[in-house]
Amino acid sequence: MVSVTDIDAAIDFWVGRLGLELETRRSGSDPGLAAAWGLPADGIVEGALLRTPGVPDGGIHLVQFKTPGPAVREGASSTDLVPKSIDIDAHDLPARYDELVAAGYAFRSKPGRLETATGGVVHEVHLPAADGMNLVFLEEDGVHQPVSPKGYGAAAQIVLVTSDNARETAFFREVFGLEDLSHNVFGGPEVEKTIGLPPGASLDITILGAKTSPFGRLEFVQYQKAPGRDLYPRARPPARGMLSITYFVPDLAPILERGRRFGIRDLGTVHSILGSGHMAEITSPAGLRVDILAP
């Protein structure tokens, strides 16, 4: 879920520029969701659900609050502990980069090259976006993910910076049954330049998700020799930027049971832009809010 100051501008970017499809748009208050997030009934003025065409996972939930707060990542460094970025698959990344630059978008650097532990090569480039968001456009050699007619697919991964990847990944395995997909350690001058790291810093990266889907995965980043501030307490409505993730499940009961020792909160029946159903909320060890909805 991404909180924005101007939902029309956000839709223009995600739909008009990147080619995602607008699945649902709700003008006016969303009292059910507002209550679940601890806001007044009129605290939400508009919301929208976006997806890569033909892809059921990894959608973007845009919300505009009545009184938007400060950006979660305002003044954040690359190594601060925070919901960091959304990964966007890009078909022919050099061409996508050139067209976005021509349209006036200013990237942090030119596309960089990362080699994975299994010998793969990933090209990526970071775009500072509205409301303090960081968007990462990427393409892996020899891998062709589903994309929109304009050559983009979101959200491939949600990137979270943690102080303890082992603890965070254990939580998502235990409560949600996510699978281990990859583990890599990246470092060196090109990585430092692409991501904006201090000299000598490296990244320990673990990706969890479902092997059956290339979208909606979680990427946990732990920076070595570069500890940052904990900004997760900022990621609460009505702050701007990435605030939470949502899982849709067929049955909430087993997740309520597994999440009990982590303080899961049963919200009962909720009616909102996300649909009507039994909803719960839990916070990961790092501080990320996760909403779970069962029909």
Q: Is residue 75 part of a domain?
A: no
> What pLDDT is recorded for position 149?
97
- Whether residues 138 and 181 fall in one domain: yes
Compute the distance between CA of residue 72 and CA of residue 144 in angstroms, rounded to an integer: 32
Compute the distance between CA of residue 291 and CA of residue 236 in angstroms, rounded to an integer: 13
- Whether residues 108 and 20 fall in one domain: no
- In this predicted structure, the answer to whether residue 40 has a pLDDT above a threshold of 80 is yes
| Residue span of the structural domain in which 279 resides | 2-69+236-294
- Whether residues 244 and 217 fall in one domain: no
CATH of the domain at 102: 3.10.180.10
Q: How many domains does the chain divide into?
A: 2
Query: Which of 200, 224, 248 is the C-terminal boundary of a domain?
Result: 224
Q: With residue 168 as reference, give the H or E element that holds it.
A: helix 165-176
- Tens-digit pLDDT profile for residues 177-220: 999 999 888 767 766 666 666 676 678 899 999 999 999 999 99
- In this predicted structure, the answer to whether residue 276 has a pLDDT above a threshold of 70 is yes
Report yes or no: 241 and 3 within 8 Å, Cβ to Cβ: yes
In Å, how far from its chain's centre is CA 97? Answer: 20
- Whether residues 244 and 202 fall in one domain: no
Query: Which of 166, 194, 224 is the C-terminal boundary of a domain?
Result: 224
> What pLDDT is recorded for position 228?
84
Q: How confident is the model at residue 242 (pLDDT cuts 50, 70, 90)?
A: very high
